[in-house]
């Protein structure tokens, strides 16, 4: 049986995560210096999908080499079956898509990103996965900072109304703000976990400071809100680890504080948004979202196919753009994009899967009472917030993070024990443990590696 050196898998996963979380290929090859980058044209560049397909193929081979282990774990989770049904719907959606050729090609890439997420979720222990995510986020943070500080021609936007806002390696400032908000809170969470030793701890601290700086430099209101909410989530999850009496007191205090802040923000929304250069129309989204729902009602069951709605002139998006009076590039909501792509049938499959994933992730915190169990919850909160006003859910990095959050709790909730957690805590980096977390599958995992 083919045996792949473990160090090669470490390098592959770290590179893959960094590549999907943020690389400058689109920005540089599009010639987007000093201007707003046309994402649809940037995505047409052959280099990005070529590298992506290579990573997907390698991940698929890795899945095939340990298919029994992965299949056994997938069978033990109800959200996995819903996820598979959702993926099947995406894959066959070109049959009714308004742009079948585009839907066909991009649905394959979408399945490839899912394969990478599955390989990542089931080929390493949970703490190894957190290490790889933390390393990828650190690399991305440093690269984004260097792009903004040393290469402002690309790393900073120069066209009104976003003049001076940092965008790092991304095509828009909002993407940088969202990713840096995630990096800051996620890396801060890892400080409470015994993941790294020596110089890595200092690198994590510097990355947190740089990420926090770039949240502000991006001038993204959504990123600021996401940072605050994820930090609040961190405190709530830590409260879940307390005994019942103190847990109720702590959560009640947090909810009371957050509720008071929300009431204050609602009462002073116009003044606060004005101070941030925003309006109460949420940059035109108050007109866009009703128009999107109108288009969903025209094809409510199966939608317009994956990536089949938005596109150049002559597509179904033309009517929507006439309704709103401006050239909307997307729905500015990841959840509405699901309804446009696969209708309410796909939407229900996803939303049920999402609810189960949230429930399992909170359960993971409560059962294990370990700080590392908070990380999937942080990811889910980030995905929820970032997809309320932006269409990021179907983007490779967001989808990989969601699949990871959906699958990461499966082996832990089924086999977790205090002794195993203590042994995992004492592991040195780089880790040397093998694939198994389930004792009964350890022999099988070793044979397939």
Can you tell me the distance from the alpha carbon of 203 to that of 195, in angstroms, rounded to the nearest whole number? 13
Say if 1 falls within a structural domain: no
Q: At what angle do helices 396-415 and 374-389 cross, to 10 degrees?
A: 150
How much is the pLDDT for 171? 83
Q: How far is CA 65 from CA 62, 109, 339, in A?
A: 5, 21, 35
Sort residue 314 into left (φ over 0), alpha (ψ -120 to 50) or beta.
left
**How many structural domains is the chain composed of?**
1
Q: Is 306 helix (H, G, I), strand (E, B) or coil?
A: coil
Q: Which domain holds residue 133?
A: 6-448
Say if 337 falls within a structural domain: yes
Angle, CA of 181, 183 and 188, to the nearest 5°: 100
Reported pTM: 0.81
Can you tell me the distance from the alpha carbon of 45 to that of 29, in angstroms, rounded to the nearest whole number? 7
How much is the pLDDT for 242? 59
Say if 176 falls within a structural domain: yes
Say if 104 falls within a structural domain: yes
Q: Are 396 and 111 in contact (CB under 8 A)?
A: no
How much is the pLDDT for 250? 54
pLDDT by 10-residue block (mean), the chain, 449 residues: 75 93 80 49 66 92 85 75 91 90 90 93 88 94 93 84 86 88 91 82 93 91 84 78 55 54 47 50 71 91 90 79 83 90 94 88 80 86 85 86 84 49 45 37 37
Can you tell me the distance from the alpha carbon of 236 to that of 231, in angstroms, rounded to the nearest whole number? 9
Q: Mind spelling out the 3-state secondary structure of 366-433?
A: HHHCCHHHHHHHHHHHHHHHHHHHCCCCCCHHHHHHHHHHHHHHHHHHHHCCHHHHHHHHCCCCCCCC
Say if 298 falls within a structural domain: yes
């Amino acid at each position: 049986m083919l045996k792949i050196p473990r160090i090669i898998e470490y390098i592959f996963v770290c590179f893959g995560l960094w590549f999907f979380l943020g690389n400058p290929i689109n920005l540089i090859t599009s010639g987007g210096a000093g201007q707003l980058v046309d994402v649809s044209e940037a995505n047409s560049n052959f280099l990005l999908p070529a590298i992506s397909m290579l990573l997907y193929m390698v991940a698929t081979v890795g899945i095939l080499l340990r298919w029994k282990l992965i299949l056994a774990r997938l069978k033990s989770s109800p959200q996995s079956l819903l996820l598979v049904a959702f993926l099947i719907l995406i894959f066959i959606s070109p049959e009714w898509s308004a742009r079948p050729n585009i839907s066909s090609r991009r649905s394959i890439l979408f399945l490839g990103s899912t394969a990478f997420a599955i390989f990542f979720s089931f080929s390493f222990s949970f703490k190894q996965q957190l290490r790889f995510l933390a390393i990828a986020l650190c690399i991305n943070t440093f690269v984004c900072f260097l792009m903004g500080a040393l290469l402002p021609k690309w790393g900073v936007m120069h066209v009104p109304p976003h003049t001076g806002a940092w965008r790092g390696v991304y095509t828009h400032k909002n993407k940088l703000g969202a990713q840096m908000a995630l990096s800051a809170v996620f890396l801060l969470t890892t400080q409470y976990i015994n993941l790294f030793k020596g110089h890595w701890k200092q690198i994590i601290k510097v990355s947190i400071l740089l990420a926090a700086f770039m949240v502000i430099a991006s001038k993204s209101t959504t990123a600021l809100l996401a940072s605050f909410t994820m930090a609040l989530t961190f405190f709530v999850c830590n409260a879940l680890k307390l005994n019942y009496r103190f847990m109720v007191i702590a959560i009640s205090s947090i909810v009371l504080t957050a509720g008071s802040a929300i009431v204050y923000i609602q009462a002073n929304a116009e003044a606060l948004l004005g101070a941030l250069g925003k309006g109460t129309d949420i940059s035109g989204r108050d007109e866009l979202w009703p128009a999107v729902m109108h288009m969903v009602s025209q094809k409510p069951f199966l939608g317009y196919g994956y990536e089949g709605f938005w596109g150049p002139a002559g597509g179904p998006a033309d009517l929507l753009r006439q309704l709103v009076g401006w050239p909307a590039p997307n729905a500015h909501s990841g959840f509405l994009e699901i309804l446009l792509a696969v209708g309410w049938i796909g939407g229900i499959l996803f939303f049920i899967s999402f609810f189960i994933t949230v429930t399992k992730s909170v359960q993971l915190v409560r059962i294990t009472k370990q700080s590392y169990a908070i990380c999937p919850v942080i990811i889910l909160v980030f995905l929820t917030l970032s997809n309320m006003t932006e269409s990021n859910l179907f983007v490779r990095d967001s989808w990989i993070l969601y699949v990871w959050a959906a699958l990461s709790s499966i082996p832990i909730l089924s086999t977790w024990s205090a002794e195993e957690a203590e042994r995992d805590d004492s592991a040195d980096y780089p880790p040397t443990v093998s694939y198994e977390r389930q004792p009964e599958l350890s022999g099988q995992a070793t044979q397939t590696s």
